[in-house]
Amino acid sequence: MAKVSDILAAKGREVLQVDPDDTVLSAIASMVERGVGSALVTRGKEIHGIFTERDYLAKIALQGRSSRDTRVRDVMSLELICVGEHHDVADVMAIMTAAHIRHLPVVDRGGLAGLVSIGDCVRQISQDHEARIEYLTDYIHDKYPR
């Protein structure tokens, strides 16, 4: 069964981080530039929350607020669910589905180790299934010595 560490090994551990005092416009610009749907809100090594595309839509766009004048701290999501590198990818997907979220910080030994998205999990499980199908197909066609 695939682990979160497998995802991080493939995609890397770099996480977009923004300061709570950054403007929403600055955070969104960084997210667009990097092609990601979220940014961890940090100061130093401390994680304060997460800012996502959904936060922008619900708390800025739909409320008619200015992204130039609003600080990330005022619209970020505060309640974080974190996972470890040892977690099974299927379990992480279940956590995300139950909580209706798409991004989870990965912490290890008290520090930030990365971030996984629902897309990362789907990709990993799909790759695992493809590998299993290939193995079973080869087995059926006697490609392995007996």
DSSP state of 57: I
Residue 143's pLDDT is 72
* Position with higher pLDDT, 140 vs 99: 99
Pick the CATH number of 4-140 from 3.10.580.10, 3.40.50.620, 3.90.470.20, 3.50.50.60: 3.10.580.10
CA distance 142 to 123: 29
DSSP state of 74: G
pLDDT at 146 over 70: no
Confidence of residue 144 (pLDDT cuts 50, 70, 90): low
pLDDT at 13 over 80: yes
CA distance 100 to 119: 14
70-128 pLDDT, tens digit each: 999 999 999 999 999 999 999 999 999 999 999 999 998 878 999 999 999 999 998 88
Q: What does the longest C-alpha to C-alpha distance in the chain come to?
A: 69
pLDDT at 145 over 70: no
Residue 142's pLDDT is 77
pLDDT at 65 over 90: yes
Prediction pTM value: 0.86
Q: Any idea where the domains of the chain sit in the sequence?
A: 4-140
DSSP state of 82: -
20-64 pLDDT, tens digit each: 999 999 999 999 999 999 999 999 989 999 999 999 999 999 999
